Structure 1
Amino acid sequence: MGPGAIYIHAMCGIAGFIDFSGRLQADPRRVLDQMRDSLHHRGPDAGGSVLEAGGRIGFGHRRLAIIDLSETGAQPMASASGRYVFVFNGEIYNFPAMRSELAALGVRFRGTSDTEVLLEAIERFGLAGALKRADGMFALALFDRKKNEISFARDRLGKKPLYIGMVQGALAFGSELKAIRKHPAFARPEIDGAAAGHFARLGYIPAPLSIYRNIGKLAPASYVSIAVDDDPTDLATLLNLTRNYWSMYSAAGNGCATRFDDEGEALDALENSLGQAVEQRLIADVPVGAFLSGGVDSSLVCALMQERLSGAARTYTVGFSEPEVDETADAAEFALHIGSQHTELMLDPRSAISAVEEMQEVFDEPFADPSQLPSLLISRLIRSEVTVAISGDGGDEFFGGYMRYPRMLAMEHLAQQIPAGVRRLATGTPVWLLDAATKANAFLRPGSVAGTLGGDRAEKLLGIIAEPDFRHRYEHFLSQWINVDGPGPSPIVSAEIPQGLSKLEQMMFVDAVSYLPDDVLVKVDRTSMAASLEVRSPLLDHKVIETAWRMPDSLRMPEGTAGKVALRRLLARRVPDHMIDRPKRGFGVPLNHWLRGPLRELAEEHLSAARMKKLGHFDSEAVARRWQEHLSGRRNWGFHLWTCICFSMWHRRWMEDPLADEVRAA
C-alpha cells in the first residue's frame, strides 16, 4: 500500500470486562482472551487485547480487514496523547471529512484508518461531539485513563450489537452473548422470563432486554459512562445512566413537521442523499458485491451502485424451487438490464436443514425469523467472492413497504365500525364455529373476501379488533403466541411516538425502533458475521432516514398502491415499469411446506409435549394442537411453530449443554 492508501476498519468483534472489586479473577488475561476469541468468526484476521488498571479492566478485539492489516489500524488502540484507549466494531463512512476537520485543527495522524480518526475526534470533541459527527455503524468501548472512566456507545440505528452484563462487582461486555458467557461471573446465567415472553410473542427479544437476567443491550444512538471506582451494582442502574446523541423520535417528528410540499423536490432530495450514501459505502480496496432480490429496495440500491462503478457490479440472489417465494428470474432480468455480474444460489431443503443445525451457534440468543436461513447461505456465497456486500435493508420501515401495513389499516377501519362491547364478545367465539361461518359465507357469497378467510385467520382478526386501541391492535397483529406470562408491554405499545403521525407512520415508527434493530439488523449482523462478511446498508444512513420522514403521504403508501412510492419513482428513472410493479415475495422460505416435509423430523423432536413442558414459556397443549392442525393441512401455523422450535434448539445448545464449550475449546 502506498502512502495515500486508506484503511477502513471493517467488521469485527469486541469484548471485555471491568472488575470493580479487584478480587474476581485470578487470571484476567486468560479470561479476556477467551472472551475475545469466542468472536473469532467476526474477525478472523487478527486479535488483540490489553489490560488496564492492574488487570481490573480488559479490552479485547477480533479484526476483519478490508484494506490491509497494518499496525496503525490494530486494536485496542490508544489515542496520540495516551489519554484514551478503545475497542471499536464498525465503520465510519464519513471519516475522510472528519479527518480533514481534525487536520485543520492541527491533529497529526499516525495511520490512515477510520478507527484512529474516530478516536482522535473523541480526544478533540469529546465522546458526544464525536458521535454526532460520525456517520456509520459501530459499537465501542472507551477507557479514559485521566478520569478513570469507561464509556460505551452504539450507532444510531443499532446496526452493530453491544451487550452489557452487570452483577455485583463485575461488568462484562461483548458483541455477542457468547463472549460474555466466557466471563466466570456469567458462565451460568438464568433466563429472563420477560424476555422469553416477548420472544414467544414476537420471535425476537426487544432491547434493552436479553434472554438472560443481568445482561442487556445498549440501545441504539446511545452512550453511557461509568467510573471504574464507582460500581453501579446492577444493570438497571447502569442503563438508567444512558444518554442519546440522536433519536428516531426527533427524526420522525421533525421530518413530519417539515414535509416536502412538492413531489419532485422530495424525490430529488432523496435521490441525492441515497446516492451519497451508496457512494460512501463503495470505498474499499476489495471487490464489493450486493444482495439483489426482485424487490424495489435492493434493485434501486444495486442500480445506484452500478452507476457509480467503472466496471460491472457483482450482484447475488438466492432462489427456491417453490415458485411462490422464488425471485431469481426477476433478479436475473434486472441484473442484465443494469449490466451487473450476477450469481444465483438455489436453496434446496437439504441445505436448509444443514443451516438449521448451525443456527444455534450463529444466534446465541433465541431468534425466529425464518429468513435467517437464506441470509446465512447467501452471505457465505457472497463471501466466497467478495468481503463487502451492499444490502437494501430499511426500505420497508421508512417508505411504507410492508404488506402488513394495508392489512392492518383495513382491520383498523373494521374495528372502528364495530362497537367496543360487540368486539369484546366476538373474541369468545370458538374456532370451529368461525370455520363453519366462513365456509357458509363462501357457499352463500362465492368469491367474497370473508369466504376465503380461514377459521384461524378469522380468530386472529377478532382478537385484533377486540383490543382497546390502535397500538394494542398492531401488537396483537404482530404477535404469534398471545397468552404468554410476564412479558409486559412490548415496544410496539410502550414506545413514545411523536405527535401528528398518521396510523401508517405510527406503524413505520414502532417498526423502526423495535422490529428493525432487534430482528432485521440482528439477522443481518449475525448471519453476515458468521460468514466473515461485511454488510453495508445505504437506506439506513441517518441522513436518508431523516429525508425519508419528510416524504409526503403521496410518496409512501397511498390507498391502492403497493407502497414505497418514492423508491419506485426513483427506480422508474432507471428501469422499465414491468421491472418495478412485481408482486412482493420477501426474502423468506416456504416454511409451512418444509415443516410438513424435510423439516418434519426436527419439528417432531422439538415440539413434543414433553419437550414443551420441560421448557416452559409455551402452552404445551396449544403447541400440540397447532402442530397437528399444521400437519393435517387444515392450518398454516409455520411461523408460530418455528418460534417454539428455535427456542427449544437454543435452549438445548446454551442451557442444557454445559460441557459443549469446554469440548469445543479443547
Structure 2
Amino acid sequence: MCGIAGVIHNDKNRAIDSQTLVNMAAIQYHRGPDNFGYHNPQGAGVGLSHARLTIIDLDEERGRQPHVSSDGRYMMVHNGEFYDFQRIRASMTAQGARFGTKSDSELVLQMYPHYGIEKTVEQLRGEFAFSIYDREEETMYLVRDRFGIKPLYWTETEHGVVFGSELKVLFAHPEVKREIDSEGLYHQLIQVMVPGSTAFKGINQVPPGHWIKIQRKDGKLNIEQHKYWDINFPQAEAHLNVKDEEEYIEGVREQLLEAVHLRLNADVPVGAYLSGGIDSCSILGLSASVRQDPVKAFTIGFDDADYDETPIATEMAEMTGAEQIILPLSAEHLYDHFERTIWHTERTIYNTLGVAKLLMSQKVREQGYKVVLTGEGSDELFAGYPAFRKDMFLYGLSDLPDNLRTDLQSTLAESNELFKGAMLPREEFNSEAINQKVGFTPTCIQSWMGCDGFARDLMSKDHQANIKSYDAGRAIAEQFDESQLEGRHPLDKAQYVWIKTMLEGQILTWGGDRVDMANSMEARPPFLDHYLADYAVNIPPQMRIKGPVEKYVLKEAMKGLLPETLYKRQKFAFMAPPAHTDEKKWNALMELMEEFANEKRIKEAGLIDYDALKQMIDSHADPSVPRDHKVQMDALLNHVLGVQLLHYHFVEQDIPKKAAAKAHELGWAA
C-alpha cells in the first residue's frame, strides 16, 4: 500500500514542477513512509510521484516508484495489492517480459503494452488504484479497483488534471481550488453521498470498477470514464433454480478460503482484526488453519457493555490459538482524537467508530505489523445488515403470512433497538426518484436520507438557498446503473444500493483505508475478492437470509470455526457508543464543539446556521426526547463538527505551504 499522485498538462511542453510532485508525496507520508520517488520527463507535460509502504519486495531502491519502462515510453504509479501476481509474472516472463523487481506493482508496466488496458485490468485481482501513462499515445489512465477499497481522486485545473490518493494530495498543488460547495455540505450532513462525489467543488472520485482515460489532443485533454466491472446480481427468476443447500455452503467455504490464502502473501507479518462478529471471526479461523504460526489478532474493547464485543472475540482467539491484543477504549477519550481522524478521513463521520479504528491501526503499527486481514464486505455480499432483513421481510417474501411477517419485523426491531436512528431508520423515508429506479427506497439509506429536514435547517441561509430545489434522491439514483437493477430480486436491489453508496462512501473510507493508512497500516478484506463476490451474488436470497437468520449460508460454511454463542446469535452492528449514552463523552463532544463550532467560527466558515445548531444541542437535555431521536441527533452533531473541521483543515489552512513544510521536515527534495 502506498500513496500516489500526478499531474498531466494540456500543453506537453509545459513543465511539471519537481518540488510540487515531491510535496504531493510528502503530504501523504503516512501512506508511504518508507521512501518516495517522482518522474517528470522533459517535454511530456506529465509528472508522477509516489510515497511507498514496503509490503512486497522490501528492497528500498528496487521497489521505488514511479516504474518506468526501459525505453521511457510507459510510466506508472500504484497503490494497493495485486494478488496471484507470481503466476501472472511467470506467464509474462515466459512470453519474453523482463521484470526488474519482485514487486507486484510492476505487473501493469509489463502487461499494458502487451494486452492493452481492458485485458490488463480484467486479469488483476485485489485492491488497487494506479495510473499509467503512454507517452507515445499521450494517454493517461486512472484505474480503481472493483469495490473502491483504495481511494483515487482527480480534478481539472486551468492547465490540466491533478490526481492523488487523498484530497490533501490534490490540495497540495497550488492550482487546485478548495471550496466546500452547497451540495457537498448537504451530503456530509446526511452521511450518504452521491457516488463519485466529495464535499469539495470540482473534486471527483474515480468510481469503483472504473477507469478514467485522459488523452491529449491538439493541446486539450479529452476525459472519458469507462466501467470495466460491476456487482452483477442475476435476474430474479434465476434464483428459482436452487441447487442443493450444501453445494452453496461448500462453494462459499472454498471461495473464501482461497481469498484468505492469497491475502496472507506478504514479505512482512500479517495479522487480523477481530471483533465479536462472524466476519472477522471467520477470517481469523481460516487464517489460523492455513498458517503454521499463531495469528496475532487485534480487538477494540469499549467500556460500555452494550456495545462491547470483547468476550466473544476472546473466545474466538482462544479457540484458534491466536495471540490477542485488546485495545480498551473509554468513550470520552474517543473525541480526543476526532480532529486527527477528520484530517485523515477527509469527510464527516456519524459515529466515533472511525476514531476507534484509527487508534486500533496505531496499535497495530506499535506492535510491528503493517498488514492485517479484515472482515469488511461480508455484510454486503451475504446480507448481514438489519436493514437487509427488513427489506427481505417487506418486499422479498411475497407469500409470507402477515402474522409471521409482523413477528419477524418485531424480532428484528427488538434485537437492534440500540441502533435505531443509525443502522435502522427512526421512521420511514421514501425518495420518489429512488422508488422509480429501484422499486422502493432501501431501508439501508432511509436513516440518512431521513435527515433531510434537519440537515437543511442546519445549513446557513445562503447554502439553504443554493439547494432549495435540489433532490438528493434523484442525484443518488442517477448514479445507479438501471441495467443492474431491472428484473432483480428486492434483496439484490437493496444490496446493490448499499454497495454503490455506503460501502464505498463509508465502510471503505472512514471505516477502512483512510483510518488504517493514517498509521501506515494496510488492511486486506478477503470478502471483497471479486471471484468470491461473483459467486455470492448467485446464492438465492432465501439462503442469504433464512427466516430470521442473516448470512445463513456463510454461517453454515463457517460453522466449525465459530464459537457456538456467535453461531446462534443475530447480527450485532459494530459501532462506538453514541455521545448521549455517556455524560463524559457528551462533555468531550461539547468541548470540541466549543472550540471548532462556536458562534464566531461558525459565522466565519459560513456553512452552518448557529441558531439551529444551538437549538439541536439544547434538545439533548430534554428527557422526553426518545433514544432513537438522540441517536440521529448525535450523528448530525458529529457531522456538523466534521464540516467545521473540514473547513478548518482544508480551506482555512494553506495546504501547499503545509505540504512543502512536510517535505522539508522529511528531507524529501527534488
Same fold (TM over 0.5): yes
Q: What does 1:267-666 align with in structure 2 at a 5 Å threshold?
A: 267-349=249-331, 351-385=333-367, 386-407=369-390, 460-461=426-427, 463-464=429-430, 469=435, 471-472=440-441, 474=443, 475-479=445-449, 481-483=451-453, 484=456, 485=467, 486=470, 488=472, 489-491=474-476, 494-496=479-481, 497-523=484-510, 524-561=512-549, 563-582=550-569, 584-591=571-578, 592-594=580-582, 595-606=585-596, 615=605, 620-633=610-623, 634-635=625-626, 636=630, 637-658=633-654, 661-662=657-658, 665=662
Q: Does the CA contact (< 8 Å) of 2:158 and 2:175 recur in 1?
A: no
The aligned amino acid for 1:646 is: G
The aligned amino acid for 1:461 is: E
**How many angstroms apart in 2 are the aligned matches of 1:24 and 1:200?**
40
C-alpha spacing 1:605/1:494, structure 2 compared with 1 (3 Å): same
Does the residue aligned with 1:401 lie in a helix, a strand or coil? Answer: coil
**How many angstroms apart in 1 are the aligned matches of 2:535 and 2:559?**
19
2:164 — aligned with what?
A: 174
Does the residue aligned with 1:598 lie in a helix, a strand or coil? Answer: helix
Does the residue aligned with 1:173 lie in a helix, a strand or coil? Answer: strand
After superposing the two structures, state which structure 1 stretch, 213-222 or 390-399, moved more: 213-222
- Cα displacement (A) at 1:360: 2.8
- Cα displacement (A) at 1:376: 0.3
C-alpha spacing 1:96/1:462, structure 2 compared with 1 (3 Å): closer
Q: What does 1:71-90 align with in structure 2 at a 5 Å threshold?
A: 71-90=61-80
Does the residue aligned with 1:599 lie in a helix, a strand or coil? Answer: helix
Matched, 1:33 2:22: yes
The aligned amino acid for 1:243 is: H
**How many angstroms apart in 2 are the aligned matches of 1:286 and 1:625?**
52
**How many angstroms apart in 1 are the aligned matches of 2:420 and 2:326?**
39
C-alpha spacing 1:295/1:646, structure 2 compared with 1 (3 Å): same
Q: What is the RMSD computed on CA atoms of the aligned residues?
A: 3.3
Q: Does the CA contact (< 8 Å) of 1:292 and 1:316 recur in 2?
A: yes
Does the residue aligned with 1:91 lie in a helix, a strand or coil? Answer: strand
1:199 — aligned with what?
A: 188
Q: How many residues align?
A: 614
After superposing the two structures, state which structure 1 stretch, 319-328 or 548-557, moved more: 548-557
C-alpha spacing 1:621/1:580, structure 2 compared with 1 (3 Å): farther
1:506-531 CA distances to partner (integer Å, 9 max, x unpaired)? 11111111211111111211111111
**How many angstroms apart in 2 are the aligned matches of 1:514 and 1:303?**
30
- Cα displacement (A) at 1:40: 0.8
Does the residue aligned with 1:311 lie in a helix, a strand or coil? Answer: coil
1:144 — aligned with what?
A: 134
After superposing the two structures, state which structure 1 stretch, 568-577 or 651-660, moved more: 651-660
C-alpha spacing 1:231/1:308, structure 2 compared with 1 (3 Å): farther
- Cα displacement (A) at 1:90: 1.0
**How many angstroms apart in 1 are the aligned matches of 2:261 and 2:419?**
48
Q: Which has the higher contact order (CA 8 A, sep 6+)?
A: 2
- Cα displacement (A) at 1:616: 5.2
Q: Does the CA contact (< 8 Å) of 2:62 and 2:101 recur in 1?
A: yes
- Cα displacement (A) at 1:389: 0.2
**How many angstroms apart in 2 are the aligned matches of 1:322 and 1:330?**
15
1:170-220 CA distances to partner (integer Å, 9 max, x unpaired)? 21110001111111211x42223222222222x254332122222210111
Q: Does the CA contact (< 8 Å) of 2:296 and 2:324 recur in 1?
A: yes
Gaps of 5+ in 1: 1-10, 415-447
1:111-137 CA distances to partner (integer Å, 9 max, x unpaired)? 322112232111211111110001011
- Cα displacement (A) at 1:157: 0.9
- Cα displacement (A) at 1:303: 0.5
Q: Does the CA contact (< 8 Å) of 1:392 and 1:538 recur in 2?
A: yes
- Cα displacement (A) at 1:252: 5.3
Gaps of 5+ in 2: 398-412, 457-466, 665-670
After superposing the two structures, state which structure 1 stretch, 120-129 or 576-585, moved more: 576-585
Does the residue aligned with 1:500 lie in a helix, a strand or coil? Answer: coil
Q: Does the CA contact (< 8 Å) of 1:165 and 1:216 recur in 2?
A: yes
- Cα displacement (A) at 1:648: 1.4
The aligned amino acid for 1:107 is: A
Matched, 1:210 2:180: no
- Cα displacement (A) at 1:396: 0.9
**How many angstroms apart in 2 are the aligned matches of 1:490 and 1:348?**
39
- Cα displacement (A) at 1:476: 3.4
Q: Does the CA contact (< 8 Å) of 2:347 and 2:642 recur in 1?
A: no
The aligned amino acid for 2:184 is: A
C-alpha spacing 1:453/1:622, structure 2 compared with 1 (3 Å): farther
- Cα displacement (A) at 1:382: 1.2
1:215-245 CA distances to partner (integer Å, 9 max, x unpaired)? 2101111112222345656xxx73xx11122
C-alpha spacing 1:138/1:462, structure 2 compared with 1 (3 Å): closer
TM-score (norm 1): 0.85
**How many angstroms apart in 2 are the aligned matches of 1:39 and 1:527?**
13
C-alpha spacing 1:260/1:319, structure 2 compared with 1 (3 Å): same
**How many angstroms apart in 1 are the aligned matches of 2:127 and 2:420?**
45
Q: What does 1:9-24 align with in structure 2 at a 5 Å threshold?
A: 11-21=1-11
The aligned amino acid for 2:555 is: R
Q: Does the CA contact (< 8 Å) of 1:312 and 1:339 recur in 2?
A: yes
The aligned amino acid for 1:32 is: L
2:407 — aligned with what?
A: none
1:373-406 CA distances to partner (integer Å, 9 max, x unpaired)? 1110111111222111000000111111111223
**How many angstroms apart in 1 are the aligned matches of 2:380 and 2:242?**
19
Does the residue aligned with 2:131 lie in a helix, a strand or coil? Answer: strand
**How many angstroms apart in 2 are the aligned matches of 1:135 and 1:243?**
18
**How many angstroms apart in 1 are the aligned matches of 2:259 and 2:396?**
38
Matched, 1:112 2:112: no
Does the residue aligned with 1:114 lie in a helix, a strand or coil? Answer: coil
C-alpha spacing 1:456/1:199, structure 2 compared with 1 (3 Å): closer
Q: Does the CA contact (< 8 Å) of 1:138 and 1:154 recur in 2?
A: yes
TM-score (norm 2): 0.84
Q: Does the CA contact (< 8 Å) of 1:260 and 1:266 recur in 2?
A: no
Does the residue aligned with 2:229 lie in a helix, a strand or coil? Answer: coil
**How many angstroms apart in 2 are the aligned matches of 1:618 and 1:311?**
53
**How many angstroms apart in 2 are the aligned matches of 1:77 and 1:625?**
55
